[in-house]
Chains A and B, each alone.
Chain A
C-alpha cells in the first residue's frame, strides 16, 4: 500500500508521545502517589493520609487554601467584571492603555506583587508611614487580607479578558429586541446580556481560582503564618531538619485533587450554555456624561493602576540608590551593576532554560498537535485527555513529583538543568498541543487537497501550504510559553541547586534576604523580557489579549 510510510511515521510519533507522557507525567504523578502511600521504611501505609486528616495544622491549610481560592475568585470576578463592563460598554479614554495595564498585571512575575505591597503597606511601608505621619494608623497588609488583595489584583485580568471578549460579541440586536419587548435597561442586562457572558464569567473566575490555589509565593511572603497547601508542601519538602517527603507528596495529592475538581468544574461550566453570537451587529460604546463618566473612568483606572502598581514600584525601586540592601535617597544604577557583576549566571540560566524549554515545546507541541488534529482515533482522544493532566498540577506539585521520580531509579535528573527545563516543558506543552490542533482544525482541508490535486504529495502539501499558515500562531504561542517559562517560580524553587538558579528563584531569595533593590532590578529585567515576548507574539497574531489566558 502506498500510504504505509505515512502510517508508520505517525505510529512512531504516537508511540514516542506516549513514552514521553509516561516518563514525564505518569511516572512523576505515580511517584507522588506511591511516595504518599509508603513510610520511610518502605512499607505500605495510609498513615500520611490519616495524619493529614488528624492534624489541625493540615485542616487549617486545607481550609485556608479554599479561603484564598474563593477569595481570589470573588475578588477577581468583582474587579474583572467591573472593568470589562466599563471598557466594553462605555467610551473610556485610553482604553488600549487600560488593557495594557491588565496585561502588565498578568505577565508580571508572581510574588513581586506581594513584595511591592509590603513596600507600600507593610510594617515599615511607605504609604503606612506617610499616613502615620498624618495621624492615621492602619494595620499592616500581612495575613489573609493582604493575600486576597494581591490575588484579586493579580488575577482580575483573567476575568476581564474573558468577559470583555464575550461582552463585545453579544449581538446588539438581542438587547434591542428586548428593549422592543419593553424590558428596562436593568432587566435587559440581567436577563439577556448576563446569561450570554455567564460562561466567560465562570471560565475566567475559575482560572483565577485555580491559579490562586496553586500560588506559592504570595502566601509565603504575605501570609506571616497563614499556611496553605502549597506552602505546607514546600515547607515539608524543604525543611532542613525533619524534611518529610512522604507527607509533602501526600499534600501534593490533596492539592492535585482539589485543582482537578475545579478544572473539571470549569470545563463542565464552560461547555454548557455557550451561545454563539453572530458578529453582524456588535454593541456600540455609550458616551457617559457627568458624574457617571467620572465614576466609570475612576473605576477602570483605579483597578488598572492598582493591578500594575507592583510593576511600577519595582521599576522605580530598581533605579533607587542603595547602600548594601538599604535604600538611600536619589537614583542610581547600582542594582543593575550588582546584577551585571554578580548575577550574570542567574540571568543566563533563566534565558537558556526558557529558550530550551520553548524550543522543545514548539517542536514537540506542533508535531503532537498535528497528530491530535489529523489522526482522529481512540488513541488521540485519549492523548487529548492525557494532556489535560498538567493543567491541574500546581508548579510546586510538579517540582515535588519530579524529585520523587528522578531522584533515584533508572533516570536520575535531580540537580541538572534538564529537570528544570523538562518541568517547564511538560506544564506548558498542553497549551501548544491544543492551540496547534485548534488552528489546524480551523483550516479548511480543501486547501491541502487543492495542492494534492496540483501534484504535490500529502506531506509536501502539508509542508508548503499548512505549515506557513499555522507558523505565525506557533511563533506567537512559543513567545507566550516563553513568558510562562521565564517567570516560573514554584517548580524551579523545588528543583534548583546552586548552579541552576533562575531569576525568579533568585528574586524570591533576595526578597527573603531583604535585598529589594536587586530583586526589583531583576524583576524589571524579567518584565522587559516578558514584555518583549508578548509584543512579538502580538506582532505575529494581532493584538489578542485572550491568547494570554
Chain B
C-alpha cells in the first residue's frame, strides 16, 4: 500500500536533458500507466522509480518518505520486464521463490506462497518447467507471479506485453489487471500501446519528449485531450482546421457553405480565430440531414465499414458505420453527416492546446 510522489524530477544522460521538472502523484493501490511513443522518457522514468537509473534532480517519495538514495534492492518493488527476464537455469517455481529466499521466510510458508502465486496467474501446472520450455505468454505469467509473490510495495511493469502476439496480449492484460486488483498493489505500467493503456489503467499519464502532456482517467484523456498531441496519440481522430466565428453572441464553426455547428456551450468563450477540431470517428453518423459530404471510399472491416467522405471544405472525414451488404454507398455518392458536438475537441491553432470550457467529460 504505497502512495508515490514525484517532485521536480530531472534526468540527464551525458549532459542531455531527458526529463525535466516532472511532477506526478500516484495513489494507493492505483493502476497508473505511463503512455507515450518510444523515446518519450517513460521507461527512463520507470527505471528511476525502480532505482536502476540515477536521479539528477528532484525527489521520489514512497508514502512521503524520500527514497532517492535507497538502493533498488531495498525499495521492495516487484518488476516485470519486456523480455521476461526469467532466470533460465531455474524452474518456474524456483524463479517465483527466488525473491522469498532473501526474505527469510520459512520454507513451508514460502512454498505455499509460490503455489498460490503460480495459481493466481494460471501457471500451477507448469511448476517444474524451465523458462526455455515455456511460451512467451507463459514466461510472462511466471514473471508476474515472481514480482507479486514478494508482496511488493510497488509493482513496476515495463512494456510487459509487447513481445507477445495480439491475441495473447488481450488475454494477458486481463490477467494482469485481475492479479493487480486482487493484490491491491500500487502499479506503474509502461506501454506505447494506447488501447492497452485504456484497457488496464485507472489513470494514465501521456508523455512526449520527456514531458507529461496530460494525466487523467482513460475517459478523460480520450474525450478531453489536453492538446493536439494527446488527441492524435489516443484513439483515431479527424483533425480539421477551421475558423471560430463569433456571431450574435454565439460561437460557431463552419464546415461548408451554410453548414454551421454551434459550439457556444463547449468552447471557452474567450477563444476566436483559427482552431483545429478533433472529430472522433464515432462523433459522426450518416443521417437524413446535416453536413453534406461526398463519399470517397468505403472499406469493409467485418462488423463495421470504415467510410471516408469529403466535406465541402475539402477536408476528409473518416467514420464508422455498421456494415451492410450490398455496400451503402459507392464512390461519389452524397451523404449527410450528423455530428455529435459532445465528442468534439477544439485546439488553439498556434499552440495546439485545448480551448474547451471546463474539464467536464
User: Which residues does A use to contact B, with CB under 8 Å?
Assistant: 2, 444, 446-447, 449-458, 460-461, 465, 468-469
Other 17 A-B pairs with CB < 8 A, given A446-B83, A451-B98, A455-B99: A2-B71, A444-B83, A446-B81, A447-B87, A449-B50, A449-B72, A450-B79, A450-B85, A450-B143, A452-B71, A453-B73, A453-B78, A453-B147, A454-B150, A455-B73, A461-B73, A465-B87
Residues of B with C-beta under 8 A to A444: 83, 85
Query: Are B87 and A453 touching (Cβ within 8 A)?
Result: no
- From known contacts A2-B69, A469-B88, infer whether A450 and B103 are also in contact, taking CB-CB under 8 Å: no
> Contact size class for B?
20 to 34
Residues of B with C-beta under 8 A to A446: 81-83, 85
- From known contacts A446-B81, A458-B73, infer whether A453 and B89 are also in contact, taking CB-CB under 8 Å: no
- Min Cβ gap B213→A in Å is 28
- From known contacts A449-B79, A450-B79, infer whether A457 and B71 are also in contact, taking CB-CB under 8 Å: yes
A191 to B208, CA, bound (A): 46
Residues of B with C-beta under 8 A to A453: 50, 72-73, 75, 77-79, 147, 156
- Min Cβ gap A442→B in Å is 12
Query: Are A455 and B81 touching (Cβ within 8 A)?
Result: no
A465 to B87, CA, bound (A): 7
Specify the chain A residue showing the minimal Cβ separation from B71.
Answer: A2
A192 to B75, CA, bound (A): 55
Residues of B with C-beta under 8 A to A458: 71, 73
* 21 CB-based A-B contacts, threshold 8 Å: A444-B83, A446-B83, A447-B86, A449-B50, A449-B52, A450-B81, A450-B86, A450-B143, A452-B51, A452-B52, A453-B50, A453-B75, A453-B78, A454-B98, A455-B76, A455-B99, A455-B103, A456-B102, A457-B73, A458-B71, A458-B73
Contact among A449, A454, A468 with B146 in the assembled complex (CB-CB below 8 Å): A454
Specify the chain B residue showing the minimal Cβ separation from A449.
Answer: B52
**Is B74 engaged at the interface, CB distance under 8 Å to the other chain?**
yes
Specify the chain A residue showing the minimal Cβ separation from B69.
Answer: A2
- Min Cβ gap A203→B in Å is 30
- Min Cβ gap A473→B in Å is 13
Residues of A with C-beta under 8 A to B76: 455
Query: Are B83 and A452 touching (Cβ within 8 A)?
Result: no
Query: Are A449 and B81 touching (Cβ within 8 A)?
Result: yes
A461 to B98, CA, bound (A): 11
Residues of A with C-beta under 8 A to B50: 449, 453
- Min Cβ gap B99→A in Å is 3
Residues of B with C-beta under 8 A to A452: 51-52, 71-73
Specify the chain A residue showing the minimal Cβ separation from B156.
Answer: A453
A444 to B85, CA, bound (A): 8
Q: Is the interface of B mostly helix, strand, loop or mixed?
A: loop
Residues of A with C-beta under 8 A to B143: 450
A458 to B73, CA, bound (A): 8
User: Which residues does B use to contact A, with CB under 8 Å?
Assistant: 50-52, 69, 71-79, 81-83, 85-89, 98-99, 102-103, 143, 146-147, 150, 156
Q: Is the interface of A mostly helix, strand, loop or mixed?
A: helix
Residues of A with C-beta under 8 A to B103: 455
- From known contacts A454-B99, A456-B102, infer whether A447 and B85 are also in contact, taking CB-CB under 8 Å: yes
- Most chain A CB atoms below 10 A, which of B83, B85, B103, B150: B85
A167 to B72, CA, bound (A): 46
A212 to B291, CA, bound (A): 85
A453 to B50, CA, bound (A): 7
- Min Cβ gap A219→B in Å is 48
- Most chain A CB atoms below 10 A, which of B76, B79, B86: B79
A2 to B150, CA, bound (A): 24
A66 to B77, CA, bound (A): 63
- Min Cβ gap A474→B in Å is 14
- From known contacts A446-B85, A447-B85, A447-B87, infer whether A455 and B102 are also in contact, taking CB-CB under 8 Å: yes
Residues of B with C-beta under 8 A to A455: 73-74, 76, 99, 102-103, 150
Residues of A with C-beta under 8 A to B83: 444, 446
A455 to B72, CA, bound (A): 8
Residues of B with C-beta under 8 A to A469: 88-89
A469 to B75, CA, bound (A): 26
A468 to B82, CA, bound (A): 23
- Min Cβ gap A331→B in Å is 49
A267 to B353, CA, bound (A): 55
Residues of A with C-beta under 8 A to B78: 453-454
- Min Cβ gap B285→A in Å is 47
Residues of A with C-beta under 8 A to B51: 452
Residues of B with C-beta under 8 A to A461: 73
A449 to B150, CA, bound (A): 15
- Most chain B CB atoms below 10 A, which of A452, A458, A468: A452
Query: Are B73 and A449 touching (Cβ within 8 A)?
Result: no
- Min Cβ gap B47→A in Å is 8
Residues of B with C-beta under 8 A to A447: 85-87
A458 to B74, CA, bound (A): 11
Residues of A with C-beta under 8 A to B79: 449-450, 453
A445 to B117, CA, bound (A): 25
A458 to B81, CA, bound (A): 17
- Min Cβ gap B95→A in Å is 9
Residues of B with C-beta under 8 A to A465: 87
Residues of A with C-beta under 8 A to B102: 454-456, 460
List the 9 closest pairs (A to B, CB-CB), nearest first. A454-B99, A446-B85, A453-B79, A450-B85, A446-B81, A455-B102, A452-B72, A447-B85, A452-B73
A449 to B83, CA, bound (A): 12
Residues of B with C-beta under 8 A to A457: 71, 73
Residues of B with C-beta under 8 A to A2: 69, 71
Specify the chain A residue showing the minimal Cβ separation from B75.
Answer: A453
A56 to B361, CA, bound (A): 96
A449 to B53, CA, bound (A): 11
A459 to B71, CA, bound (A): 12
Residues of A with C-beta under 8 A to B88: 469
A453 to B75, CA, bound (A): 8
- Min Cβ gap A4→B in Å is 12
A397 to B49, CA, bound (A): 55
- Min Cβ gap A541→B in Å is 15
- Min Cβ gap A440→B in Å is 15
- Min Cβ gap A509→B in Å is 48
- Min Cβ gap A406→B in Å is 43
- Min Cβ gap A470→B in Å is 11
